[in-house]
Structure 1
Amino acid sequence: MTAEVNKGPLLGQRHVQTFLLFLSIVVNYIAKFNAGVAVVAMTNAQSTNPNFPEYDWNEMERSYILSSFFWGYIMTQFLGGWLCRRYGARLTMFVSTFGSALLVLLVPFCVPWGGWQAYCAIRVCMGIFQGLMFPCVHAHLANWCPPSERNRLGALANTGLDCGTLLAMFVSGQVAASSMGWPGIFYISCAVGMFWCIAWLIFGADTPRQSKFISKAELSYIESSISANSKQEQLKESRQIPVPWKAILTSLPFWSLFLVRCTQSWGYSTLQAEIPAYMNGVLLMEMKSNALFSALPYLASWIMAFVYLIVSDILISRGALTITGIRKTYSSLASWLPAISLIGLSFLDSNQKTLAIVLMTASVGINAGATIGSALNTIDLSPNHAGILMGIVNTGANIVPILTPLLVGIIVKNEHDRVEWQLVFIISAVIFFFGNLFYIIFGRMVNQPWNDADFLDEQKQALSQEEGKAAKAKSKSKSKS
């Protein structure tokens, strides 16, 4: 019999850190996505509270506001990984959320004199700050999660994406219609961000050893688990380990992850941004005017995130599937089933509205498997460089939502033409399919050799030995001649 491992309290500090990461994603996503509701309230006061200013912004200006966030967001993904390595996740995430929360508070004060351009500028700056967040989330998970719990705790933290989106939609709409009006959206977004910053400063810690609240048993469990998995005698802080850039950029498992995250982002951004326009133009449905229809996909995604998590825990604990099997199975479900749904949607007409809603909701819900399927693969490949990997991957994945509307604009000249939309959805389905196929073939769910802290030293040593052997062989050949 094997001795039972003492993991510390049932709810230890690793669970506290996971909950704080969940909340960080929630509060940042509230600030990120409240613009969808805010712009409507600011341009149509009668739909919410007519006692507040209304602005005459056209559709293009509104589109600039909504997309401007990503202009800044893609600029700092890599920087977030670097800052996290240099200064730690605690400080970097604090700066990220504090800056975003402070900027969102400026909207009610700057828009009256700066118009939509001021709102865009604020959103760009918010994107710059929030771009630091996700590389830190993955690096923090790598430092705090024992290998056997990474899948569970990482997935729990990432459920904040759908929870934050849901809250942004529901809470923002209710606040805009209340006595606070649309400015209240920004006041509340700022308040929840500041509240998280305080909690993070109190309870957040870069590593288990730096935590003031962790028990000795939990500290020993986390450090011994991570050390044993990485085959290193001591747990080393990842920001002290040099980055093996050449090894990373020539790693096929890394590029398979990069590709699948980009293709999943392409498919998801099509599901998220273009299907409402398709339903309005082809199916003659006013989806945006119905809060229930707009929220259903995100509610389904949040629920499915927990379903995926529970099922994966059961399968792994019973030995039915390895982590490799879980990742590739979930990634396939999250890519290929929505691909089929996209094609199915493109053949529906205005007499099949109910089926269209079911397909759309199911597609977004099933796509929630992408978190466990591929998003957490950065930690599998390299816990020591998870923040750097996430910075590179997330940069590519977030360029895609800027590109997909451009393709739609090129192909769809008449929003009521179903044939044009079919081409858009078929292209997305093909991208979904082949990106995941590449991941299935070349993706790996184990630590790569370049994760080792002494990888570069070993390479230099091996190179010097080879050079020494070559020099000896050369001198021997000269002496013989």
Structure 2
Amino acid sequence: MIDKPQATKMKSPCFGQRHVQIFLLFTSIIVNYVAKFNAGVAVVAMTDAATTNPNFPEYKWSDMEKSYILSSFFWGNFITQFPGGYLCRRLGAKRTMFISTLGSSLFALLLPLCVNWGGWGIYCGIRIVQGLFQGFLFPCLHAHLAAWCPVSERNRLGALANTGIECGTLLSMFISGLIAASSIGWPGLFYVSGALGLVWCVAWLLLAANKPAESKFITKAELDYIEGSQNITKKVESDEVVQKIPVPWHAILTSLPFWALVVARSAHSWGFSTLQAELPSYMKGVLNMDMKSNAFYSALPYLAMWCMSYVYLIVSDVLLNRKMASLTVIRKTFNTCAFWIPATGLICIGLLGEEQKNFAIVLMTISVGSNAGATIGSALNTIDLSPNHAGILMGIVNSAANVIPILTPLLVGVLVEDEHNRVQWQLVFIIAAVVFASGNLFYLIFGKMDLQPWDDKDYLSKKWEQNSELPHKVLSGHVFAVTAICTPAATS
């Protein structure tokens, strides 16, 4: 154990294996998001080949069938979020994340071969399986962050890893449009995403380690720095200890700060999935933009989002290091910007038509760009509440949040009967705005950024001891009272 004075003087290595692990996490999100979100462009290309490459098959799928395709990924993704936290505790993040990305990538390669004979149904089936595999990703990612990040760098490194969300979404929107219009056509979308995933799997096997002590490449100085930082706070136990820590289910499920996080992430999922999954269809139907322009303008908001993620990161680092604001203030302020600005933007977008397409693009860019603050605002809150149970918490949070993208495309399929009807899109955007705004309000009131008592590895045993002592104390009190009544009083 390193004492506090010694640890606080320990110099932080400028670059080391913790940064390699963060880069691997960053790229894991990218390759999985490219496979996850290329469906928005793929569905348009596969049903309107004239706008991309007419040399490849075109399918006559209804709007409802396209909605099933867009939502099917999340049917599988939601199922494995919760088991993903447990699997990560048993197998470690290295093996679990490898299985997750390998499975998703292999099925991406299969899709062009199967869709010709299976149609939209087989497309849905493969995306469900991809979702099942990718459901393991984020619970492991948060557990890996808790194991590798020094406490003082946790906000910075965690945010850096999660910027893969914005980068992956950007690449998916932009590259997918270019690939679909190229000589390899829409099948290339799946071949490229599958190949990227396989390359990442090789790099992960060579460079990743479940914890600093297992890394072949880490220096002693960096190992002492990471372990010393974590020992001071006693927030993160070793993998062996974490596997033996019982999960305090009752304490977690009755924790209001935890439910505030669940509500916030679910609200974010609703608003973000509305923008991300339906953006190509909205731009094509209402703004009347062809596929090549659609690919560029669809990617533009996510370029802003990726850039803004670093702006939020730098600002939070400056505010924390100079002690100008607490972590609680930073998280809630950033989350408010990330939720309420897009909520306003969505309502305004619903009021615009084809003649105002430039203004609509500006509003989309501002709305999606400002949403980047949700990573620092709420996504990393699992590690604040409980580093030892970060994977389990993320599994529960993502299980709830991933139900939402199942519903939003289906809701759009019901509400938007004519994709050219601006009024029907208005209702979709208003609903998303209300969810955005109310979810953040709940988080502002009940969200906490403090380590919770149930993170303690001995929490359940201490609770049991307290409960077992109570009947003993009550019984002792009754015995004392009975003895006092029955014993004659002393005479003077």
Given the two structures, how large is their TM-score scaled by the length of structure 2? 0.91
Range 146-155 or range 263-272, more displaced? 263-272
Q: Which moved more, 1:130-139 or 1:164-173?
A: 164-173
Range that drifts further, 65-74 or 104-113: 104-113
Q: Deviations over 1:167-190 (max 9, x none)?
A: 223333333344433333322222
Q: 1:438 to 1:173 in 2, by over 3 A?
A: closer
Matched, 1:455 2:433: no
Q: Which residue of 2 aligns with 1:106?
A: 110
- Indicate how the Cα distance of structure 1 residues 428 and 88 shifts in structure 2: closer, same or farther if over 3 A, else same: same
CA separation of 1:401 and 1:15: change in aligned 2, threshold 3 A = same
Instruction: Tell me the equivalent position of 2:489.
Output: none
- In the alignment, what sits opposite 1:238? 242
2:431 aligns with one of 410, 427, 433:
427
- Give the corresponding residue for 1:154: 158
Query: 1:422, CA displacement in angstroms?
Result: 4.1
Q: CA deviation at 1:101?
A: 0.9
Measured after TM superposition, the shift of residue 6 of structure 1 is 3.9
Name the aligned partner's letter for residue 149 of structure 1. Answer: E
The within-5 A match list for 1:22-37 is: 22-37=26-41
Decide whether the 8 Å contact of 1:84 with 1:239 is kept in 2: no
Going from structure 1 to structure 2, the CA distance change for 1:303 and 1:148 (only over 3 Å counts) comes to: same
Decide whether the 8 Å contact of 1:227 with 1:235 is kept in 2. Answer: no
* The 10-residue stretch of structure 1 (281-290 or 70-79) with the greater mean CA deviation from structure 2: 281-290
Aligned partner of residue 404 in structure 1, secondary structure? helix
CA deviation string 1:221-264 (max 9, x = no partner)? 11121121236898864232110000000001001111111112
User: How many residues get paired?
Assistant: 480
1:413–1:288 CA distance, 2 compared to 1 (3 A): farther
Question: Is residue 2:265 matched to residue 1:261?
Answer: yes
Question: Letter of the aligned partner of 2:71 in structure 1?
Answer: S
How far residue 456 of structure 1 moved from its aligned partner, in angstroms, is 0.7
Distance 2:287 2:112 in 1: 37
Greater CA drift, 33-42 or 447-456: 33-42
Q: How does 1:33-432 map to 2 (within 5 A)?
A: 33-230=37-234, 237-274=241-278, 277=281, 289-409=293-413, 411-412=415-416, 420-432=424-436
Shift in alpha-carbon separation, 1:232–1:376, aligned structure 2, 3 A? closer
- Aligned-partner SS, 2:403: helix
Instruction: Tell me, in whole angstroms, the C-alpha distance in 2 between the residues paired with 1:60 and 1:308.
Output: 38
Alignment check: 8 A CA contact 2:63 2:413 kept: no
Cα gap change, 1:86 to 1:302, in 2 (>3 Å): same
**Which sits farther off after the overlay, 30-39 or 459-468?**
30-39
Distance 1:67 1:430, change over 3 A: closer
Name the Cα RMSD after superposition: 2.5
Counterpart Cα distance in 1 of 2:238 and 2:86: 23
> What whole-Å deviation, never above 9, does each CA across 1:81-117 have from its counterpart, x for those lacking one?
0101111111111110111111111112222332222
Work out the CA distance in 1 between the residues paired with 2:235 and 2:283.
Answer: 53
1:129 CA drift (Å):
0.3
Query: Does the 8 A contact of 2:52 with 2:292 survive in 1?
Result: no
State how far apart, in whole Å, the 2-side matches of 1:147 and 1:42 are: 47
Conserved? CA contact 1:288–1:294, under 8 Å: no
Partner of 1:471: 475
Deviation of the 1:426 alpha carbon: 3.3
Change (3 A) 1:270 1:181: closer
CA distance in 2, matches of 1:57, 1:67: 15
TM-score (norm 1): 0.92
CA shift at 1:277, angstroms? Answer: 4.9
For structure 2, which runs of at least 5 residues remain unmatched after alignment?
A: 487-492
Q: Deviations over 1:382-422 (max 9, x none)?
A: 00001111111111111112223444455555656655544
Assess, with a 3 A threshold, how the Cα gap between structure 1 residues 248 and 7 changes in structure 2: closer, same or farther: same
Contact 1:287 1:293 survives alignment (8 Å):
no
Distance 1:232 1:40 in 2: 46
Distance 1:351 1:35, change over 3 A: closer
For 2:284 and 2:119, the matched residues in 1 are separated by 29
Deviation at 1:139, TM superposition (A): 0.7
Aligned to 1:21: 25
2:343–2:436 contact (8 Å) kept in structure 1: yes
SS in structure 1 of the partner of residue 171 of structure 2 = helix
Change (3 A) 1:269 1:174: closer
Q: CA deviation at 1:31?
A: 1.3
Identify if the C-alpha distance between structure 1 residues 478 and 390 changes in structure 2 by more than 3 Å, giving closer, same or farther.
same
CA offset at residue 286 of structure 1?
5.6
The answer to which of 376-385 and 269-278 deviates more is: 269-278
How far apart are 1:436 and its partner, in Å? 1.1
Contact 1:287-1:294 at 8 Å conserved across structures: no
Secondary structure of the residue aligned to 2:402 is: helix
Query: Any idea what the Cα deviations from partners look like across 1:335-383, whole Å, max 9, x if unmatched?
Result: 1111222222233344432222111110000011000000000000000
C-alpha deviation, 1:154, in angstroms: 0.8
Deviation of residue 432 (structure 1)? 1.8
Deviation at 1:67, TM superposition (A): 1.8
CA separation in 1, counterparts of 2:321 and 2:309? Answer: 18
Distance 1:107 1:270, change over 3 A: closer
1:59 CA drift (Å): 3.1
**Alpha-carbon distance, 1:205 to partner:** 1.0
